[in-house]
Amino acid sequence: MDLLLEGFQTALTPTNLLYAVLGVLLGTAVGVLPGIGPAMTVALLLPVTYNVSPDSALIMFAGIYYGGMYGGSTTSILLNTPGESSSVVTAIEGNKMAKAGRAAQALATAAVGSFIAGTIGTVLLVLLAPTVADLVVQLGAPSYFAIMLASLLAVTTVLGSSKLRGFIALFLGLAIGLVGASTGEARLTFGQPLLADGIDVVVVAVAIFALGEALWVAAHLRRRPLEIIPVGQPWMSKKDWGRSWKPWLRGTAYGFPFGALPAGGAEVPTALSYLTEKRLSKHPEEFGHGAIEGVAGPEAANNASAAGTLVPLLAIGLPTTATAAIILLAMQSYGIQPGPQLFDNEPELVWALLASLFVANLLLLVINLPMAPIWAKLLQTPRPYLYAGILFFASLGAYSVNFQAFDLVLLLAFGLLGLAMRRFGIPVLPLIIGVILGPRVEAQLTEALAISQGDVSTLWSEPVAVVVYVLIAVVAVALAVNAVRTRGSAAPEKEEVDA
């Protein structure tokens, strides 16, 4: 508790407060732009925080993170087609509400719900993360190896409709992660000295998220502009509050645990929250026509799961969503290595980060509710400028890492890969996680076998590792059974090669 108070002292100095406000504003402004989800927002804004002192950078980043999330949900409410899978559910009822003239209430319940879920989620994070870190710090390399393996498989198989495409993405990512001389021998460097240190993950992430997306949109740019719903000051009547507060809490209860699982992500909890609210609602007939519960619940679930993903990220160093992957990169670029030692090595920074999550969350509510009409105007940015701007800032971000034109070559190459992945329905998340975790999985395996002097049985010598392998096996069997069953019942109609 004292540590958290100290964290607040760091977060609340005037300079850092200014950085937090700046972060929230930038994050929301960029996140609200159509076609830019939270992951791309944090990736594009990463360079802005490079040379600020680590505590200010982290605080600014917390603001960018929450701002980007909130901006994304504003977009999906005011325009119908959400870019992020986590906002899909919010858009269902949110856009219907907006069309029925209740955009102000939809934005208000989303903002207040996000605030409540984010605050509860951060409290749970503060309580859980140090405990998890204490447990994890006792684990040896075999257990780490097992947990990372499980997380790679989970990210690949749990989300997305085609497992084949998930694995394609994962192994492309692992191949990218091989590049470099980290093992003592230069692998896949093709004699290019600039590749000896490996490919900068920031470049890969910006290329796949920002450049790939911009090129993909450029090939399919809407000829008619989307209809944007004008919005006034967000507000809610007493009745709206009464209908919202339970869904907020239930959404939080769904979101946080799912986010904290190594196969995190907001898709499952937001969908569960929506179904629950639909079943419990006193106005089931409104669902499909703009029910406020259908915005309040999923939006809270979305934000709570975002807080949940920070548990494995901070305590184990394990990113489970695209946004978490970028946050990991950001922290590494400030010279901070998330993981079990983090709470012992950098207590001031961690607690300042946790405190600034609270601050950013509050700022978001205070700043964004009054400014919603301005954010809505950003949706009218002319599309040529919007996507030209994405290309511009993506290049700037990649170039500012090392000032090497070579990084821009890589950016373009991986941007084209990102374009191809969107064309062929290959998910991007397993690729990014593969690039980040691949080298670490190899390192843990090497460490485990070095300690055991090459005895492979060391891999299942720790109870945690055994439990994780059993879980992997159970899920694999369940998926296989499921695949066989769907194939048997709906054979030629369904896509056959799904497994």
Partner 1 sequence: MTTTDTATSPVRRRAVDTAQYGFAAFLVVVGAVVVHDATTLDKGFADQPVQPYAVPYLVGGVLLVLGVLLAVATARGDVPEAEEGEDVDLEGGSDWVTVAKLVAVFAFNVAFVGWLGWAITGAVLFAGSAWALGSRTYVRDIAIGAALSLLTWYGFYVGLNIPIPAGILDGVL
Residues of span 393-422 touching partner 1 by CB under 8 A: 395-396, 399-400, 403, 405, 408-409, 412, 415-416, 419-420, 422
Which x/- pattern, by CB under 8 A, does the window 189-228 give for partner 1?
A: ------------------------xxxxxxxxxxx--x--
**CB 135, min distance to partner 1, A:** 27
- The DSSP result for 87-119, as a single string, is GHHHHHHHHHHIIIIIHHHHHHHHHHHHHHHHH
- Which amino acid, residue 261? L
183 vs 233 by CB, closer to partner 1: 183
46 vs 263 by CB, closer to partner 1: 46
The CA distances from residue 385 to 214, 367, 395, 410, 470, in Å, are: 11, 26, 15, 24, 52
83 vs 264 by CB, closer to partner 1: 83
13 vs 162 by CB, closer to partner 1: 162
Tell which one of 8, 389, 472, 475 touches partner 1 (CB under 8 A). 389
- Token pair of 103 as six digits: 């955009």
Which of 118, 111, 113, 41 minimizes the C-alpha distance to 83? 41
Which x/- pattern, by CB under 8 A, does the window 131-160 give for partner 1?
A: ------------------------------
Of residues 446-465, those binding partner 1 (CB under 8 A): 446, 449-450, 453-454
Distance CA 24, CA 36 (A): 16
Q: Computed over its alpha carbons, how large is the radius of gyration of the chain? A: 22
Of residues 427-446, those binding partner 1 (CB under 8 A): 438, 442, 445-446
- Token pair of 186 as six digits: 């230069």
230 vs 425 by CB, closer to partner 1: 425
Tell which one of 287, 334, 358, 387 touches partner 1 (CB under 8 A). 387
46 vs 301 by CB, closer to partner 1: 46
Of residues 62-91, those binding partner 1 (CB under 8 A): 75, 79, 81-83
**Residues with Cβ < 8 Å from 325, sequence gap 6 or more?**
39, 205, 319, 429, 432, 433, 436
Q: Is the dihedral of CA 14, 15, 16, 22 positive or negative?
A: positive
Label residue 241 exposed, middle or buried (CB < 10 Å: 0-12, 13-18, 19+). Answer: middle
Of residues 9-38, those binding partner 1 (CB under 8 A): 34-35
**Residues with Cβ < 8 Å from 380, sequence gap 6 or more?**
228
Which x/- pattern, by CB under 8 A, does the window 224-263 give for partner 1?
A: --x-------------------------------------
- Size of site (CB under 8 A) for partner 1: 81
128 vs 175 by CB, closer to partner 1: 175
Residue 492 in the binding site for partner 1 (CB under 8 A): yes
Distance CA 155, CA 374 (A): 37
Tell which one of 29, 70, 158, 165 touches partner 1 (CB under 8 A). 165
Which of 319, 388, 329 minimizes the C-alpha distance to 47? 329
Tell which one of 9, 140, 187, 461 touches partner 1 (CB under 8 A). 187
